[in-house]
Structure 1
């Protein structure tokens, strides 16, 4: 993740660290193809729309989809997640914009669709979790 993050609102360093930590843990789970670890980054009642436009409601549904997907058609997919903006929505609720860059297993950028993701990450009884998310695949930005 980069350090060039636009921060809007009065977000403490501790909150920034916790929220970006959720995104980093999500990236690590994706790259390890670990559906259970990926789902743990979501709130119990989260709503997630993936890059294919499929809405998944609840951590359990996210795990049920992600486990087979990460071991199946995404088994050779890797990405770097860069937090580009944090927006304080309310106390304990942060909007997060992320840019996803496709990489190889070593983390080197490769050709392929990029992603732009919006998360709402909120303080939950079990820690900071994604409560709403939308992932969109986009064409790679032009070089140069």
Structure 2
């Protein structure tokens, strides 16, 4: 599998985890020292803190929300560092679109460590409607 395919698989796992309310799958590719800024502007640092917030969100306000993710751009800063822009589209549980345009944009920083791509940082931004 190419680096680009592996990176797209990371984003696909995040999407599947989100849609299944599965925080473990959603965060499967997080680096231990990852840093995330949520769509609400909350900064979380470390896999443990991010997992806790994900579990709470998926069991609470995000429980009945679903999304389709599209990788819009992957740029390799170095062979082992990639910047990934993703757009998230709100969908129904059956996969039907809710909005015509994306509801959130995200920037991921992925690093290749120990033979796999890991999310080192992520910034989510809600798109005003």
Sort the TM-score into its range (normalised by shorter chain). Answer: over 0.9
SS state of the match for residue 35, structure 2?
strand
The match for 2:41 is 53
8 A Cα contact 2:29 2:118, kept in partner: yes
The offset of 1:127, in angstroms, is 2.2
The match for 1:8 is none
Equivalent of residue 113 in structure 2, options 124, 131, 141:
124
The 5 A counterparts of 1:1-144 are 14-111=2-99, 114-125=103-114, 127-140=116-129
SS state of the match for residue 100, structure 1?
strand
SS state of the match for residue 29, structure 1?
helix
The offset of 1:126, in angstroms, is 6.8
The match for 1:7 is none
The offset of 1:131, in angstroms, is 0.4
8 A Cα contact 1:40 1:59, kept in partner: no
The offset of 1:128, in angstroms, is 1.1
8 A Cα contact 2:87 2:102, kept in partner: no
**Which whole-Å deviations, capped at 9, do the CAs of 1:63-110 have from their partners, x for residues lacking one?**
011011101110011101100001011111110001110001111111
8 A Cα contact 2:111 2:118, kept in partner: yes
SS state of the match for residue 65, structure 1?
helix
Q: What stretches of structure 2 of length at least 5 have no aligned partner?
A: none
Query: Normalising by structure 1, what TM-score?
Result: 0.83
Aligned counterparts of 2:128 and 2:102: Cα–Cα separation in 1: 5
